[in-house]
Structure 1
């Protein structure tokens, strides 16, 4: 329903007249656009958000970006009948530019060398806060060895040039009262691409494991949400605990609260008949725009009867083992508790990465960058909390091996596989991703954030005990 108030601007010509008189960046235009956005959003429950923008090529005309729950093709589908220029975009929709760049990086075997990676990491760290404050549409900041050109004009080319990449949901539209992105940051060119970082909570269930294992599906007692149980860690105050992502087990409204609401966790999630309590959340760290700490991690104190007895994972198919480079008869496990810090991750960047998630199970990926910054996650469309995370690992999918992670994999540990003896070393905890790549928190950042002292490590399981239970240690990895 249109508002009956005379102040509501209901046609493009009237809006253009105001823009010409006061300027697109004026307070007057901002106020008018705010009222229009509120009105348009009220038209349909399918609409999640509406924001006004302008094009760099035409800074005097307004385009309203309408974010919807799913893709729609016409304004009429969401009851918008005015002649305003409207761009409709589903909440996870984006163009294929970034996926094409990723494919070319992988196919051409092109990577950023370590010295340049460290420089780019510093640039992102130095500028990310200011960029987020000045540009509300940024979803992620990372780096690439290729500068993408001409995609929006149908003349897509790639130039071999290390660059900072600013990711947005909708490329080519600048929010009203904001300026264009910088072309250069500390000598590095800036590229702009589309990406929507999705947190990987959700997905398929796993069987109940009375003795918990890394990679089990878990969830809270008060909502249907599935994530992955990450690693185990001994904490003096609580004893044996498990870690996962805070967004998996804590309701969105409570994520930023300093007072921890009692949350009981179940494995698997409560919507399944074989669900059983496995512990309760005793600590969490979750970053918001107002905080400097940049983490998404929760600590679950495990019920004694659900305590793990080995470093084994749930069942893995022979097909997945082969795809990940292992022999089909091997049993994968993580017994050492060994972790890599940031410098170790970079030094071992040529080692393949694996993870076992509750949804996609065993998958293999390729390390690409350390120092990525998520400025906003999908929470911007589902609530009032903005996700701010930095110093993240960016992991590329490997062609023919499936996506590295999917919904339901949030919280799973990411491991580096030694090329010499196939030993697993934990390097990160998976958060989410987009087409072609995933992002993970470096494991030491997560452990330090929950109070573990350096040098930190995860739970070490006795190899002799595992052998008595008929488990074999993984050897002779094949690539």
Structure 2
């Protein structure tokens, strides 16, 4: 019964918070996989380095204008500055020299920190907290015109993502998720913000508008499909499927009171129009034979038609609805 599946609703304190933990077709956990080896090797050397021996922002931008942002000299100076900035606080996780598309000769250092910090330096900074993103992706996900993609559009975009995903992930260090979306988000953070009902490829980066100096901007189109860049990331839970999770996640081990001796995997999450935030799993994971046969016969069984059944991970909720296809 591989095509059987269950909708499982869970009452969460923050039902919307799941959006940043959802697993998409192509993803990578940027901070856990990135190894800032060069910076770590040079931390001790830079601790006694006076900033007056490093190029300031004006000098650095002049060098960038004369030689180009990808030149070895620009990279060398930026590496030294990144290392110097990182030594200013133990809360700093990583520093990235970046530029904006409207002027790639002006370098901005994006500082990723564990919590709020105040830094005084000779360089232009953009400070971000690790794993904190703008709400643009949530606004796009829950906008009124966010209707499900048609099967045809979903398959078409899926093939394009398959075609370009490895190249995109390789060329863009801080790209964390690639997914399909039924809407394009425009002008977020301004009074002109809007979403348009246009099928697109959504690229999620840990910080939007700031491009690493050794990388190029994302393409605006991929095989005729618009590209929409948003902020977002993947944060692995760091626990096994059998461990207790404060917020249930995809991949958690679950069981039910119908057949507690059997276990299975919690799939993804959906926003159900009647039940709210729901999880999905296979019917054989939580239903006994009686209700599996009933489901096959009726095609759809709702909570009120069934005997009470609790689900565990190891906390619990109730089966809301079962479908057969």
1:23 to 53, 65, 68: 68
Any idea what SS the aligned residue of 2:90 has?
A: coil
Matched, 1:120 2:146: no
1:174 to 195, 211, 225: 211
8 A contact 1:47–1:66 mirrored in 2: yes
Cα gap change, 1:40/1:397 in structure 2, threshold over 3 Å: closer, same or farther? Answer: farther
Any idea what SS the aligned residue of 1:63 has?
A: strand
- Provide the aligned C-alpha RMSD in A: 4.0
8 A contact 1:217–1:228 mirrored in 2: no
What does 1:4-43 align with in structure 2 at a 5 Å threshold? 4=49, 8-43=53-88
Scaled by the length of structure 2, what TM-score is found? 0.65
Any idea what SS the aligned residue of 1:141 has?
A: strand
What is the distance in 2 between the residues matched to 1:462 and 1:144? 38
- 1:126: how far off? 0.8
8 A contact 1:8–1:35 mirrored in 2: no
8 A contact 1:94–1:170 mirrored in 2: yes
Cα gap change, 1:22/1:477 in structure 2, threshold over 3 Å: closer, same or farther? Answer: closer
Q: Unpaired segments of 5 or more residues in structure 2?
A: 1-45, 291-306, 310-318
What is the distance in 1 between the residues matched to 2:274 and 2:112? 31
Matched, 1:164 2:201: yes
What does 1:67-466 align with in structure 2 at a 5 Å threshold? 67-72=112-117, 74-75=118-119, 81-104=120-143, 107-108=144-145, 110-201=147-238, 216-217=242-243, 230-231=252-253, 312-313=255-256, 331=257, 333=259, 355=266, 365-366=269-270, 401=276, 414-415=280-281, 424-425=283-284
Higher RCO by CA contacts (8 Å cutoff, separation 6 or greater): 2
Matched, 1:477 2:314: no
- 1:95: how far off? 0.8
- 1:312: how far off? 4.0
- 1:4: how far off? 3.3
Scaled by the length of structure 1, what TM-score is found? 0.46
Q: 1:451-478: CA deviations, max 9, x gaps?
A: xxxxxxxx99887xxxxxxxx6858839
What number of residue pairs does the alignment pair up?
Answer: 253
Any idea what SS the aligned residue of 2:208 has?
A: coil
What is the distance in 2 between the residues matched to 1:60 and 1:109? 38
Structure ranking higher in helix proportion: 2
